[in-house]
Structure 1
Amino acid sequence: MAKIPYIRGVRPGIPSADELRARIPGWGVDLDPADRPAFPREINGVPENVVWDFPEEQVEHHPRERSIEHARLTPVFGTVAPLQGVPGAVRRLAYARYSEARAAHWLLLLAADRIESKQALWQSFSTDRPDSFLEETGIRAERSHHGFSSRWRRGRVDKHQVLDPVVLALPAILGGWAVTRVVRRLVRL
């Protein structure tokens, strides 16, 4: 059982330092205060002589994502963008199942971001002013602001113009092709 820095008491289920040292090679090499240059200024946990109570906790109206390494949320936390829809479900999965030390955790969070950006793109098509593909990709600026010639100057590192048509245009072309096929099938029926 290990002590928790911001909660007085012990949390069950946390392995001891000896168990971790036996299981993970090199774990705890910096536990000796003599090996740490900032030791005199460090405070581990809550000092015994400090009179301190846990602050009043913010009410959790919606379930918040929290790493599985933590017993609880901090007393105050942000609620600006509560999790919603498919991206929210993917983020909940990342926090509920995987530790922050695992690549799967971060890859799921990246996937949720990608899903959310595509979802916002498709939602923009249902509004009066959908996103403009030509303006957002900078294709017009290529023509009016010497885009092609500026890429061939000496010292440029980003010589990715070969991939630009694939990355920018191919998804739009494939999306248009798919929509055309669906519309044709609906017309035939």
Structure 2
Amino acid sequence: MAYTPDKPKLAETSDQLRARIPGWGADLDPKDRPSVPRERFDPGFAGAHWEFPDRQVEEWPRERSIEHKFLTLVFGTVAPLHGLSGRIRRYAYDRYSEGRAAHWLLLLAGDRVDVLESRLRALASGKPDRLIHETGVRAEVTHHGLSSRAEGRRVDRRHHPMDPIVVAAPWLIGAAVAYGLIRRLRR
């Protein structure tokens, strides 16, 4: 049983294990164990000072797998779920087992939505992302990025033509949508 001091029972006896696994139980004889002089054996003491360990206080509902009865004893509280991304993640945990692809795909979608939400928050606060610096475009020019791409035996050479598309496409699409909305509002 998980999280209890009870020692699980062996499926096989020591003699059966010794016959099946070479070297099993080599340290059962106290003469063969170097720690014997300092070892204290108390059959009544299981090593745990609790019957069931203390649990961390859950200040607000946490996402948890539908397969497990409890949350782990200690869990993170740094980044609670928030916004649309939090709703997507909570739906993934409430609805689907961890063994289903839908669970993980929803968590991935929640991550992407979280990135979008953080970029929109940064834009609304007047401190948008610095694309030139953060994507490494400037380093391509100032630190011999283009020549290092052309020379040598880089593994990622095949997807180099796609890099500008992957980096710029979301911003171009966002700008086009914003332009369309502004135009529609002006009419």
- Identify whether the pair has TM-score above 0.5, normalized to the shorter chain: yes
Flag the 1:151–1:62 CA change in 2: closer, same or farther, 3 A.
same
Higher RCO by CA contacts (8 Å cutoff, separation 6 or greater): 2
In structure 2, the CA distance between the partners of 1:77 and 1:36, relative to structure 1 (3 Å rule), is farther
Match of 1:99 in 2: 97
Aligned-partner residue type, residue 110 of structure 1: L
Give the share of equivalent positions with the same residue, in percent.
Answer: 50
Pairing 1:6–2:3 present: yes
Contact 2:4 2:53 in 1 (8 A): no
Residue 73 of structure 1, aligned match among 55, 71, 74? 71
State the 1:7 CA deviation.
Answer: 5.6
**Whole-angstrom distance in 2 between the partners of 1:94 and 1:107:** 9
1:106-130: CA deviations, max 9, x gaps? Answer: 2211111111011101111012321
Which structure has the larger Rg over C-alpha atoms? Answer: 2
Structure 1 unaligned blocks of 5 or more: 9-30, 41-47
- Distance verdict in 2 for CA 1:113–1:36, change over 3 Å: farther
CA shift, 1:32, in A, is 6.0
Partner of 1:156: 154
In structure 2, how many angstroms separate the alpha carbons of the residues matched to 1:158 and 1:178?
Answer: 32
Q: CA deviation at 1:101?
A: 2.0
Count of aligned pairs between the two proteins: 158
TM-score (norm 2): 0.71
- Determine the structure 1 residue equivalent to 2:166: 167
Which segments of 5 or more consecutive residues in structure 2 lack a partner in the other structure? 26-43
Residue 126 of structure 1 is matched in structure 2 by 124
Q: Considering fraction of residues, name the structure with more strand.
A: 1
CA distance in 1, matches of 2:57, 2:143: 52
The one-letter amino acid paired with 1:149 is: S
How far off is 1:62 after superposition? 0.6
Inter-partner Cα distance in structure 1 for 2:94 and 2:21: 34
Q: Give me the whole-angstrom Cα distance separating, in 2, the residues matched to 1:36 and 1:165.
A: 58
Query: Distance in 2 between the 1:7 and 1:72 partners?
Result: 14
Give yes or no for contact 2:139–2:145 (8 Å, CA) kept in 1: yes
**Structure 1 consecutive aligned stretches of length 4 or more whose deviation exceeds 6 Å:** none
1:145 counterpart (138, 143, 146): 143
